[in-house]
Each structure stands twice: as structure tokens, then as C-alpha cells.
Chains A and B, each alone.
Chain A
Amino acid sequence: MATKVFMEALSPTMEEGKVVSWEKNEGDAVKTGDVLAEVETDKAVMELQARGDGVLRKVLAAEGATVEVGKLVAVIAAPDEDITELLGEAGDGKRGSQHETADEPVAAKRTPAAAPAERPREPSRAPTPAPATTPAPAPGGGGITVAERVKASPLARRIAAERGIDLTIIRGTGPAGRIIQRDVEAAERAPRAAPAPVYAADGYEDVGLSQMRKTIAKRLVESIGPIPHFFLTAEVDMERTADARQALNALGEEPKISFNDIILKIVAMALTRHRACNAWWQGDHIRYFNEVHIGMAVAIDEGLITPVIRNAHQKSLREIGREARELAERARARKLTPEEYTGATFSVSNLGMLDIDQFTAVINPPEAGILAIGAITEKPVAHEGSVVVRKRMRITMSCDHRVIDGATGARFLQSVSQMLENPLAIVW
């Protein structure tokens, strides 16, 4: 039985993919789940996996080639199987969801539009026998596995059918990306079509817009642009944070704590106290989060990506440090999965290591704020009545004025500054 290998949608927004490298060569034996190729999507380098067993008979896309999603890129088949007919189809152009092969398994025919049409089987004591879901045996032994088959557990299918949820837009978190019960239930809770990060049911609160808020939103957008930014800057004394960091690292534990780790931790703590800054502008309402998911801007060769430290408010300094390091490494290796770089509730951008004193960062919508961290520099300041040299750092918050007003942002920034100036706050 031959298996056609298609360029798959490896990220929710991917329309085409670039074959970075083939991990298997023509003639190699492959098993389901083997990595066939590394594919660069619009967001990351992902693995294209085999969905059938046999020999990789033909590779149709050269390394470096960019291929539309749904196009045939290779064929897996038995060593002596005739695949000429399959290869003939390769020139047909975009195939994707329209598959007509007569002998493909029934389950594979579920195209996105048709997905909810499967009649829900009634598990309660139904008088009529339930329709079978087992794929019909392929006549002539020539069944073809189709790449875009929706992988979902029977229970997930049943719940989705019953509740009218389209399985093709859900991202599976089960083995090999299989959609399982919790994914369907999460999709139902978060009805936005995005493939989206999942938030706990009580993880946020949507608040309708008052007339005043509507007017502020409308007028500010007219005056400034799609996101009406304003900026708040504070200079923070970093002596105590520097001492604390040095003392922690003197313990000899790995990994070492960085200033950035401490800043992320303190921002997370401050956001739990200033929910007004931990929010998304949603057009017709504002979503205030009870959970803190911090986006952390990471510079990579091709640009910039913002991996997310989830539930940062619940994590210890060391956990945040470890995660930040791991995410940054994965980001530079372009190995982040979509759920790792979406869903932040607030972001932090740090150019301190590049000796930038102060800058303004651009808001990552729908988030309402981002904090820009400058370098820590020694400078003379007035301190307890005399001029002394102390470590100082400038932080600048960009605020979406539709969500955050001046004083609201200032109070948040004040909390951050106070905690950085007295980092013992972390142990509260």
C-alpha cells in the first residue's frame, strides 16, 4: 500500500513550506512516525513525519524548494510496488483537502468542511445499530493513506460531533498531535478559531466596553494609528538587585540567575497585582487575565520571535530562568512550536546587553503592554544626601491607551521599580 507524502500545514498559518533537508533518502526504509524531512514554515523549522510504512521510493521536492501545503513531496511504497501512476499526479498542482482516490480509507475523506457532518453515534441505548466508523477495507489492496487525515480519538470525535466543533481547526496535544478529549473541550471553551493556547476557564475575565472606553478607543486610534501607544519611563536603582543576584549565584547552583530572569519574575509578580496591565484589547471588549504568560522577545538571525513563559506568576525564579534559557535556545534553533510563541498576556524586551540605555518597544497585539529594558550603567546619583555612583537601569513601558490609562500604567511601573529596588519582594 503506497502512502503519498504531502507538504503538511505544520503551523496554523502555514501556506507553504521550504524543504530544509531530507532526513531520509530514496531507497531508505521508513516507518510511521519517522522524520522524513525538516521543513521551514513561516514560524519555525518543523519535522515532516512519515504516515505510512515502506520504502521512501521517490522524493519530488529538492532541498531548498518551497512547496505549497497539500502538494505531493514524496511517495512511500513497497519496494516492488508500481508507483508510476502516483508520480503522474505530482504535476497536478495543489491538492490539499480535495482527495478523490476511490480506495482511500473512509476516515480519510473527512475534508474540513465535511467534518461535522459525520452523524454522531448515539451511545445511549439506541434502537438502531450505530453506523460503523471502521474504515472500509480497501478493494484490491491499494488503499492510500492521505496526509491530511484528521487524527482524533473516538471520544474526541464523538464529543466534537455532538457539540458541533470542527476538528480540522483544533490542534491536537495527544501522541503525535492526535486530537484528544481535552483538546475538544478546550476548543469549546475558547471559541476563537485560532489554534490557540488554552486558558483555564477561570483564567481571565472579559469586560464589556463602557461608552467612555469606546470613545477613548475610537478617538485615540484616529489620532495615532491602529494601536494608540503612550510611553512611561522610570529609572531604577539596581544596586540591591545586583547584590541579590551575586549572592544567589555565589551558592554555586546551576544555571546562574541573570538580571533578565529577575526582571521577568518581578514583572510577573507585578502583573498579578495590576491586572489592568495584564490584558488583551479584543475590539469589542477587554480580556483581563488572571494568569500571567510573559512573552520574551528573542533576537534570532532572521529577525525576532517572542516565546512565552506560561504561568510565570506561579514559577520560581529558578524555574523562570531555566525556562527562559531553554526557550531562547529553542528560538535561536528555530525549534519553537506554535503554542510556545503565542498567547502571551504581556511582553518584555531587553536590549540591555547591547548597551542600549533606553528605548521604546512596539506592542505585540492583542497584548496591551510591553516593557523595554535598558542597560544597567553606573552613574552618579544623589543618594541619601550625597552624590554617589550607583547601578541604574531605565525601563520604558509602552501602553495601549485603549486598555491602560496613564496612571494605571504608572502604578504598575512603580510596583516593578519598587520590587527591583528591593528584590527581597520575590520571597513574599
Chain B
Amino acid sequence: MANTFDVIVLGGGPAGYVCAIRSAQLGLSTAVVEKEKLGGVCVNVGCIPSKALLHSAYVANLVKHDAESLGISVKDMSLNFGTAIKHSRQVAEQNSKGVEFLMKKNKVTVLKGEGKLLAPRKVQVAKDTYTASKALVIATGTRVKGLPQVGLELDKTTVISSDEALFLQDTPASLAIVGAGAVGMEFADIYSAFGSKVTVIEVLPRVLPMEDPESSAAIAKVYQKRGIDLFTSAKVKGAKVSAKGVSLEIEAEGKSQQLQAEKVLMAAGRALNVENVGLDAAGVKLDERGFIKVDNNLRTTADGVYAIGDVAGPPMLAHKGSREGIVVAEVIAGKRPHAIKYDNVPSVTYCHPEVASIGLNEDQCKEKKLDYVVGKFSLSNNGRARAAKETDGFVKIIRDKKYGEILGAHIVASHASELIHELTVARENEYTVEEIDLAVHAHPTLSEAVAEAALDSLGRMLHA
């Protein structure tokens, strides 16, 4: 029966397509339903193209600020944002094509169109109805959202989201960004490097509010040095949008003030794609926060229906969604996968320097009244960082006092996104700070800072 598959996955983003590949690997006939391009937000209008633009921004800052002192003089430097965008589109396109290839390679059928559930394991795509004999997996993800309640409805020209910010051909003279989470801080880096006057507005008391307070402080200092204005504990009370730009009324730390910007980028939260999926028809219920209600095995309230990725709850991260996709495929195939450790999912912001973390931050350790010790090593003491003139940042490890368990780790560094995985592996395998130190670290590397932070937590740092 051509319209029957063992597994049907709704949504071809990083959760859905990985789930499809793993299902196919396990011998299940699999289809993935996608209305737009394969790879979802991540590949097309998220993680991937923004990383390309951040690299352009990094090179721009390198040439502007450090090239001269490294022995390279660049005359008549000019910035062409359109070209940077073009590069980012090519990268996104390559990755989406890559996912298409992976679907073919694994014999996963791609159903083009919007999927709507008619019953727990019945889905309509365009005019056709398909049946999943074993399981249906909802991986429909999220989309951008505005703040209509204060007059900031997304209009795609003046009030924009990341969907537009990834396609502008030129930078606005001034850009206000609402939200200082990963998305807001990354676009602040990009647009500031390409010449926009950037202001970031965050309702919580610090930028990157989910990170360790020391990480937030370090990144705020770097941004302010670059001329980016940061308003924290700041609320947007109202907005007037005209053809020329936006006038924002902000209340920061009790004081009201006006802010003018050519464009405003909304980077505060995302809306779940759960309205048009046919959840009611399938008997899939939402939890009190609006996510799809799932159990430990990511089963929804409907028999044979699973949910993964952003719709299944936080953290809304591509790599968390992919892991859920793998686990669900294995559950469907009757295997007993290892449970996901949701407290061991790394969090990364790819601004420059990068911010990465795993586990608890120091505020959380205090709240939980844990008996902990902090080890910290500054990159200004690291030879490799000095060589690259990238000494902003540190590695901070929080360990349990008695047993040395790594409770959390926080890195601000030019390659924090790569460095964090040593600590992710360590935590996944229950290594303590001593195992980190006992593993020989190559010299000279930024990774030495990780070992030094571990040593510092033991009171025997070597290089500071």
C-alpha cells in the first residue's frame, strides 16, 4: 500500500529528519512531511545561515580591529552585506540539499505539503491520506512571533524577525533588537559588525539571562566596547511604527525613555506550530505551558503518536530535537534507548566571543543550596588565546565539593562552542574534575583552559 508507512514524521527539521533517518536505519518504512524546504528553520532560516553571517562579522571585526597589529594592512576595506547574505544562502542551500540527499540515501519518502492529522495515525497531505501503521511523530517546530500587545506586530519591513534579518540586502543605519537571548545577541553581533548602530533591549536583568552571571557580564563588556547599547531590566511599553522607522518607549530600571531605530528585530520567544496540525482530531493534548504533552518516552496522549523537538518542550534547541528524534525512532522499533539527560544538553550562543555552557549555572547552584567549588581560568593566561589576540573570556567549572562531580561548566571564548563538548562527554559519563585533569591536553590549545579550570577547582592551577 503506497499510502501506508510504518512511521510518518510531520516536519523535516533537525528533529524530524533525524528521526526519519534513524527509523529507516532500523528497517521501518518511513515518510517525512514537509511543506517548505527540508532542514526546517535550523537549516534554512536559523542556525546554519546565521553561522555564515557570524563568520562574516568575525572577519569584519578581525580586519577592522586586529589585522594591522598582526602584520596585515588592509587599505580601502569595504563591507558588502549583500554578499555576506549571498554566502549564507549558499550554505543554507547546500545543507538543505544535503538533507534531501540523506532522505534518498535512506529511502525515506518525502511528502511535500502541509500535514494535518485526521486520526491518531492518519494524516492528510494535500489531497491524499496516509496511514502510519506503527507511529506518527509530530516535529512541526516553531515560528517567529512579534509583540502585538505593545504595537510590535511583525510587518516584515520595519518590525522584522530573524526570517527577514537573514535576507536584508543592506544594513539599517540603526537597529533595535528586542530580546538578549542567543538570537538577539547573535544578530546584534552581525549587524553591528556591518555598521548598524545596534541597541539590545532585554526584560530580564542581564543579557543571555539563562547563562551564568559571569558569562553575561563578560559578553556585555565586550559588546559595550564595540559600541552596542544594552538595556537590561527593560520593558518595551509602546511602539510607534512609521515608514521611516520605529519609535520605542522603553522603561528601563524604572525610568521611561524613547528610542528611535530604522528597524526593530523581534528576538523574544517563538510561537509553536501546533494550531493547524489536527491535534484535536488525533486526541493529542497540550500541557499547561502550551507544549504538546508527552511522557518520558515522548509519547503524546494519543496512542501511537509521539512529539519531538520544539513542540515537545524546552530547551528549544536543534540538537535536543535531533536526540529526541533518535530516541523516538528506537522506541518505535522496540529498542530500549538510553533516556535523554535533559540537564546535559549544551547551550551555545555563537556571537564573538562565543558563550557555551552545560549543566547548572552558579545562581542555580546557590538556589539549590549545593555545596560547590568554582574553578576558573581566564583566557588572558592562555598562550594560544594570546597568539590569536582572543583573550576575552574564561572557562569556569562548578564542581560538587565532596565528590568532584561537574555540576556545570561555562565558557566564554572564541571557540567555546567546540570546547564545551569535553565537559559534555565528561558529564554524560560521570567523570569528575580529576578525570578532566588526568587526560593530557595538547599544548598550546584553548582546551588547556578547561584542564586549568578543573585544576583550579582542586586548588592547584598551574598557569595562573
List residues of A whose CB falls within 8 A of some B CB.
Answer: 121, 123-126, 130, 132-134, 153-156, 158-159, 162, 174-175, 180-181, 253-254, 318
Contact = CB atoms under 8 A, between A and B. Distances in A.
Interface in B293-315: 303
Interface in B414-432: 429-432
A154 B430 contact: yes
Contacts of B430: 153-156, 180-181
A133 B438 contact: yes
B303 A130 contact: no
B330 interface: no
3 nearest interchain CB pairs? A123-B404, A153-B430, A125-B459
A162 B403 CA distance: 9
A121 B405 CA distance: 13
B320 interface: no
Contact of A121 (B303, B399, B434, B460): B434
Which of B430, B431, B435, B458 has the most chain A CB atoms closer than 10 A to its own CB? B430
Nearest to B405: A155
A419 B338 CA distance: 38
A123 B438 contact: no
B435 A124 contact: no
Nearest to A130: B434
B65 interface: no
Contacts of A153: 429-431
B374 to A, nearest CB: 13
Interface string B128-162: 00000000000000000000000000000000000
Given A125-B459, A134-B438, A154 B401 contact: no
Contacts of B400: 123
A180 B402 CA distance: 17
Contacts of B459: 125
B413 interface: no
A155 B407 CA distance: 12
Contact of B431 (A121, A155, A174): A155
A132 B338 contact: no
B433 interface: yes
A259 to B, nearest CB: 20
A301 B338 CA distance: 32
Given A123-B432, A153-B430, A175-B338, A159 B403 contact: yes
Interface residues of B, number: 21
A156 B405 CA distance: 10
A277 B146 CA distance: 58
A315 B350 CA distance: 43
A257 to B, nearest CB: 12
Nearest to A156: B430
Contacts of A175: 338
Contacts of A318: 303
Given A124-B401, A162-B403, A254-B303, 13 more contacts: A123-B400, A123-B401, A123-B402, A123-B432, A133-B438, A134-B438, A153-B429, A153-B430, A156-B430, A158-B404, A175-B338, A180-B430, A253-B303
A126 B431 CA distance: 19
10 contacts: A123-B402, A123-B432, A123-B433, A125-B459, A130-B434, A133-B438, A153-B431, A154-B431, A162-B402, A162-B403
A156 B459 CA distance: 23
Contacts of B338: 174-175
B432 A155 contact: yes
A277 B338 CA distance: 34
Given A180-B430, A181-B430, A253-B303, A155 B403 contact: yes
Contacts of A180: 430
A220 B303 CA distance: 49
A125 B455 CA distance: 10
Nearest to A123: B404
Nearest to A255: B303
A162 B429 CA distance: 19
A181 B431 CA distance: 11
Contacts of A124: 373, 401-402
A150 to B, nearest CB: 14
Nearest to A182: B430
Contacts of A132: 438
A154 B434 contact: yes
Nearest to B427: A155
A121 B400 CA distance: 14
Contacts of B433: 123
A123 B458 contact: yes
A404 B403 CA distance: 45
A123 B429 contact: no
B130 to A, nearest CB: 18
Contact of B432 (A125, A154, A253): A154
Which of B401, B404, B459 has the most chain A CB atoms closer than 10 A to its own CB? B404
A158 B432 contact: yes
A126 B373 CA distance: 14
